[in-house]
Amino acid sequence: MTRILAALGLFCLASAGAARAQAVIPEWAKSAWTIVAKSRALAISSRIKPAILQGDFDGDGKIDIAVFVESAKSHQQGIVFLHQGTSRVFVVGAGTPLGNGGDDFEWMDSWSIKAHGPKSRSDAVLVSREGSASGLVIFANGRYRWKQQGDGPPT
């Protein structure tokens, strides 16, 4: 009986966490998020905090979002980019390879926004693992690319 109650408690906590995570998707992105989440069996991951970053990733002057996700099928982790003002969705990791970052971002333990520099109008996402290499995920020429930072691929 104790095990059943404990399992039920964990289920309720997981459901509440998923509901809270879903609530942070901005209204403009909910439709595209729902489609990609269902079609690719992706869920917001709570392993990295925050689970959602905001920035102007495509350089159009509108705030976009990056969502840290996990595949329900393969358990591979990655990032979904949703650009405000368009229905295009971009997935990196979570089964979709991206340069030295690979197709599973389970190696990363932090991420942050790197504001655009003088040569770029768009923000990038810095993904890293403490004590190891890191990379920038940059939108250029209509797709996301990996720009290695530091030594070699992450381990």
Q: How does pLDDT run across 73-114, given as a tens digit for each residue? A: 999 999 999 999 998 999 999 999 999 999 999 999 999 999
Tens digits of per-residue pLDDT, 119-130? Answer: 778 999 999 999
Position 6 scores a pLDDT of 39
**Residue of 30, 44, 52, 56 lying closest to 111 (CA atoms):** 52
Per-residue model confidence (pLDDT) at position 116: 75
High-pLDDT (> 70) share of the chain, %: 81
Whether the CB-CB separation of 51 and 21 falls below 8 Å is answered with yes
Q: Which of 39, 53, 150 is nearest to 101 (CA)?
A: 150
Q: What is the dihedral of CA 46, 50, 51, 52, to 10 degrees?
A: 170
Give residue 22's pLDDT band: very low, low, confident or very high (50, 70, 90). Answer: very low
